[in-house]
Amino acid sequence: MDFWFRLPIRTRLGIIATVLLVVAVISFALWTSDPRHHQPISAVIKFAPILFLFWLAWADLQQIPFWVWLVMPVVLILCALKPALWLLIIPVALFSLFIMPKKRKKK
C-alpha cells in the first residue's frame, strides 16, 4: 500500500480514471432494467470522463493561482443558488484573464 502513496498524484489520478472508465464502459454494456442501478451507473459514466480530463489537463491545472482554487467553490455555490449571477461572473472572469500579466518563458 505504501507503493500507491509514493506514486505522483497525476499517475494515481490516471489509474483511478482508467479504472472508472473501464467500469463505466462495462456498466453501460450491462445496463439493467432495474431502476435501483441506474443512479450509481450513471454517476460513474458521468464522473469517469471528467476525472480523465483532469488527468489530461494536470500540467495546466498546476499553473492556476492558489487564490482561484479558494474562490471557485464559493462562486459555483453562489451561481447554483442564483443562476442569474452567471451573467455577471462570466464577463468578469474573461476580463480578468485578459488583464492578468503573462508569464514570460525563460530562454
User: pTM higher than 0.85 for the full model?
Assistant: no
pLDDT over 80 at 37, yes or no: no
State the pLDDT confidence band at 48, using cuts at 50, 70 and 90.
confident
State the pLDDT confidence band at 105, using cuts at 50, 70 and 90.
low
Q: CA quadruple 87, 69, 10, 30: dihedral positive or negative?
A: negative
State the pLDDT confidence band at 81, using cuts at 50, 70 and 90.
very high
pLDDT over 70 at 78, yes or no: yes
Considering only CA atoms, which of 21, 24, 17 is closest in space to residue 55? 17
Half-sphere exposure of residue 97: CA atoms within 13 angstroms, side-chain side: 7
